[in-house]
Amino acid sequence: MAEDVWILGVSMTKFGKHPDEDNFDLAAQAAFGALTDAGIGMKDVGVLAAGCLTGGNSAFGQQLQKQIGQTGIPVYNVANACATGATALRVAIMAVKAGETDYGMAVGVEKLSGAGLLGATARKKQGDTWAAEGRFGAIAPLDGRIGTESMPGVFAQIGLEYGSKYGGVDFELFARIAEKNHAHSTLNPLAAYTKRLTLDQIMNDVMIAYPNTRPMCSANCDGAAAAIVVSDSKLKTLSLEQQRRAVKISASVLTSDPWQEACQVLPDVNTLTRQAAGQAYEAAGVGPEDLDLVELHDCFATAELVHYDNLELCEPGGAVDFFNSGATWRDGKTPVNVSGGLESKGHPIAATGIANVWEICQHLRDEAGARQIEGARVGLAHVIGLGSACGVHVLKKAYLRCSA
Amino acid sequence: MADTIPLVDYLVLDGDPHLIAHECENCSARFFDRRTACASCSGTSFRTVGIPREGTVRTFTIVSLAAPGVPVPFVAAVVDCGGTSVRGNLVNVDPDPDHVTLGMKVRLTVVPMGADATGVAAVGYGFEPA
């Protein structure tokens, strides 16, 4: 059995608009933040995994090294859609588990302010004659002619599909999920949006793809996050303060979607999440009832609902009743997205899968300030990258190390 | 029908317009696009099968904001046609949640797309209330 791996340092920048900083400025800020938090230097780090999906640089990690320290270590440039950050973290964890190094660094960054609609591309001017191309033999772009390729539309269908199976969903239900997350972010100074929105404001905002209005969509913004992981044996040699603040990575799981009948027509974000959650609970030796808080991939309000079920936070088919019970508000049974989630904290893609781990760590360390979930001991961070990739990390408070 | 061309090669315009799929000869998984091998079982032999023209709406969205050049609003949906999931727009129906509902019965219909410089007319498909 490979040894345990811990989060030693973790950091995120303020999410929002950073017009005067580029991807390297933001990533460096997060990387140095994580090093300072860990109490180590760049020369201690033995592996770097870095992600930046929209930066247009296939050697992003090496370019980042030029801003934080070129030490000759192996660099893994990671791309895995919206699961890029979680994948980078997992690469660093695997390197430590494999015994290649005692310290690994994972960094994710994106500049997305003003990016607009993701997933859709402008329709090109039609040629003079019809010509079939591609694997569908299509003579024209299919977006808008055969369904939608825009992310708000894809995830709207994923939410309504849940209603088709189990009933009980409507526009207002999804709007109330967004209302919760926009309320939660008022306590998070690093969130892109910190203004509470009323249900009326959310439902009467610009409709993007029914039932998702604009505040029910993830917020495109700039931001970076970074983490330092350490081996169990090295951690034991560090200061008591470092050991006290370290957070145990009880499970680090990555899945892709197994074939399902409909997954070729509408992405199936459910099956791979259920499988990742199952593997994570098994590895961590905890169940969903043990979770003190969850940060899950609410790229749209319609997505949050299905993941209550996929992560087994409720009975199968019971996500609507679970939400209506108040369970996922910060004072509920299983607080979900107390950071504000992607809808309000923001979603700088490659940073997201590390930023949600940062959020969990803040609570497990009792350092979350005004939004602290009292007595938090175990948390789960989840991301989905469409295509698909699912990352789940289960994290435990340090003092549990003897019992766990 | 030499003067028409389907939007996609899985739309058959001869006679009664209908959709076809590549069905894996080993596990019966169905695909609308060309496949190197089956995503379910890795089999490499496929047969062509017809898809029922009638189905029920399993999920939908009403797209109000789309990429430049894509007319809105439109209704994107997944239709269950006798056990095969099909992606398509809902047409000949008001694009609002009062008229589009989960579980509604629909049937395949063709959607004219206009002719090119040589006079060849393109034809797409959608689903309309049955």
Average pLDDT value for residue range A2-24: 96
Of chain A, the percentage scoring pLDDT greater than 70 comes to: 98
Gap between the Cα atoms of A197 and A213, Å rounded: 13
Average pLDDT value for residue range A361-369: 98
Average pLDDT value for residue range B65-78: 95
Average pLDDT value for residue range A386-392: 96
pLDDT at A126: 75
Report CA A403 to chain centroid distance, whole Å.
28
Report CA A195 to chain centroid distance, whole Å.
21
Is the predicted pLDDT of residue A400 greater than 50, yes or no?
no
- Say yes or no for a CB contact (<8 Å) between A138 and B7: yes
Average pLDDT value for residue range A51-66: 94
Please name the residue ranges forming H helices in A285-364: 301-310, 319-324, 341-344, 349-364
Average pLDDT value for residue range A60-79: 98
- Split at pLDDT 50, 70, 90, the class of A371 is very high
- Split at pLDDT 50, 70, 90, the class of A117 is confident
- Say yes or no for a CB contact (<8 Å) between A164 and B59: yes
Q: What is the CATH number of domain A5-114+219-399?
A: 3.40.47.10
Q: Which of A226, A293, A283, A297 is nearest to A253 (CA)?
A: A283
The answer to whether B77 faces chain A, any CB pair under 8 Å, is: yes
- Split at pLDDT 50, 70, 90, the class of A399 is low
* Mean pLDDT lowest among A21-35, A59-73, A120-134, B110-124: A120-134
Q: What are the E-state strand segments in A215-366?
A: 222-231, 247-256, 293-295
* Mean pLDDT lowest among A25-34, A123-132, A210-219: A123-132
Q: Where are the domains of chain B?
A: 4-129
- Residue pair A13/A206 in contact (Cβ under 8 Å)? The answer is no
Q: What are the E-state strand segments in B1-130?
A: 4-6, 11-12, 18-24, 30-31, 46-51, 54-63, 74-81, 84-90, 105-115, 121-129
**Would you state the structure tokens that stand for residue A259, as one six-digit string?**
């074939």
Q: Omega into B73 within 30° of 0, i.e. cis?
A: yes
Is the predicted pLDDT of residue A403 greater than 60, yes or no?
no
Cβ neighbours, 10 Å, residue A72: 7
User: Testing the interface with B: which of A149, A164, A166, A171 to mutate, by most B Cβ within 10 A?
Assistant: A164
Of A128, A137, A206, the CB nearest to B9: A137
Average pLDDT value for residue range A166-170: 96
pLDDT at A404: 39
pLDDT at A402: 45
The answer to whether B119 faces chain A, any CB pair under 8 Å, is: no
Gap between the Cα atoms of A360 and A86, Å rounded: 13
**What's chain B's average pLDDT?**
96
pLDDT at A1: 62
- Say yes or no for a CB contact (<8 Å) between A140 and B7: yes
Kindly report the pTM of this predicted structure. 0.96
Gap between the Cα atoms of A36 and A92, Å rounded: 18
Of A136, A138, A163, the CB nearest to B102: A163
ipTM, two decimals = 0.96
